[in-house]
Amino acid sequence: MSLSDCRLIDLPKIQDPRGNLTFIEGGRHAPFEFKRAYYLYDVPGGSERGGHAHRDLSQLIIAMSGSFDVILDDGYREKRFHLNRSYFSLYVCPMIWRRLENFSSGAVCLVLASEYYDEADYFRDYSEFQRHLKGAA
């Protein structure tokens, strides 16, 4: 997997004068079936989240409210995405380092994950992540 495999995905948006509705179906809108959902909120100004990569897990990241930046890194280059609409999602494939920063006040970040939580799936040290990439090349 590489940075070019990560991409923004438009989610369905049903507009209605009473309020809009967006939905996500695993395998249809997300390029995987999701097994876990979690969300980040009340992130203090100037704080950073993420700072890790996954061996096998895929994610869909959505700004449910407010905005934040997601910086993706494949070990060779970085790409920044600014998420600020609840009907846009960012697909992050395995073996991509991710950082989330620049959270606006009141931002809520929803993450849909392809697998249940497994600590063994994480790279939490960037140097180890880079060594693994070089060994796989």
Mean pLDDT in each 10-residue stretch from start to end of the chain (137 residues)? 91 95 91 95 93 97 97 96 96 97 96 97 96 83
Cβ neighbours of 126 (radius 10 Å): 15
In sequence order, what are the residues at sequence separation of 6 or more whose Cβ sits closer than 8 angstroms to the Cβ of residue 3? Answer: 72, 73, 74, 76, 77, 78, 79, 96
**pLDDT reported for residue 137:** 57
For residues 91 and 133, what is the distance between their CA atoms, to the nearest angstrom?
A: 20
**pLDDT reported for residue 51:** 94
**pLDDT reported for residue 1:** 73
**pLDDT reported for residue 54:** 98
User: Would you say 109 and 40 are in contact if contact means Cβ atoms under 8 Å apart?
Assistant: yes
Which of 29, 52, 54, 82 is catalytic? The answer is 52
Domain 3-136, CATH: 2.60.120.10
User: Would you say 58 and 32 are in contact if contact means Cβ atoms under 8 Å apart?
Assistant: yes
Quick check: is 132 catalytic?
no
Cβ neighbours of 55 (radius 10 Å): 13
User: Would you say 30 and 92 are in contact if contact means Cβ atoms under 8 Å apart?
Assistant: no
**pLDDT reported for residue 15:** 95
HEC letters along 40-92: EECCCCCCCEEEEEECCCCEEEEEEECCEEEEEECCCCEEEEEECCCCEEEEE
